[in-house]
Amino acid sequence: MQAYQMLEVNGLKTGLKSLLWSAAALVMLISLIVPALNILTVALMMVPFVVLYTTLTRKEFALHLFAVLGIGFFVLGPAALILGLFFVIPSIVMGHMYKRQAQARTVLTVVLLTILGQLLLQLVLFSAVLDVSLTREIGQLIRGSVTELSSQGLLPASWSTEMTESLIRTMVQSIPLTFIVIAFLYAVITHWVARNALRRLHGLEIPGLKPAKEWMMPKILVLYYLIALVLDLIVTDDGDSFLNVVLLNLIPLLRLVFTIQAIGFFYYLADQKRWNKVVPVLLSIPVFLFPPLSLIGVLDVAFPIRKSFKKP
């Protein structure tokens, strides 16, 4: 007996589970316009499309996609196509790599770059076609917020226009870092949820990431981090130079990398010491809350400190 009921739609055999995933994609697409609810759905929007592409043929996937976007267009208008296609493209990339049984690290890297490329492309298109400038919108938002807070007496008396403009400049210059973090989170969350869904609901084995205890970043990143920190100390902070913008984005990004490495070290330590599984989770929380603790990750990569804790 088949694992799930098969239905005939326009000459194509379409599983009931596939129809349910399509319905989920449609509901999530429509819910993107619902305040509060869209925070959750936007994080999981790629999952149904990844599952559909992985479990269906291209022709069947196209049928489901056409139905979802068609109904979405009828309900939301052109916004459904713009939002839908943004999530569909990296979903197809991830699903295609799943079919090829690509390693998880490769999948995440390619999907991250795909999402990052889309974000940059949309930034350019919005500015060129719709005359919507992200930098201008950020400036207006911050100036408006500062004006409102100032009128309510919630800002210190020493707050000046120069400080507002400096804040705007920092926010604008941090856009690359923000885009990278967004792309990374999308790739990781989608991979984790979609992989588990495919394994548990469809019986498909998708390669996963290495266990956290085995994580190890390339040693060259330590050198990059040290160079960036030294340059940050000696370079004049004139705000608008290319090097300042690079350092503004590179240092927090590398700090995040070594924060992840520190978490891997905690899991390794817990495995060697046979600690309860909740211990490395609890140890990881302060690392995120107190960025200097990412130094643990730097030391883990730079020196063979794990040998000191290795079980005999």
167-209 pLDDT, tens digit per residue, is: 888 888 888 889 999 999 999 999 999 999 999 988 888 998 8
Asked if the model's pLDDT at residue 252 lies above 80, the reply is yes
Asked if the model's pLDDT at residue 6 lies above 50, the reply is no
60-100 pLDDT, tens digit per residue, is: 999 999 999 999 999 888 888 888 899 999 999 999 999 99
CA neighbor of 297 nearest in space, from 252, 251, 266, 253: 266
Using CA atoms, how far residue 306 sits from 167, 207, 292, 301, in Å, is 41, 26, 20, 10
Which tokens sit at 2? 């088949």
pTM for the whole structure: 0.84
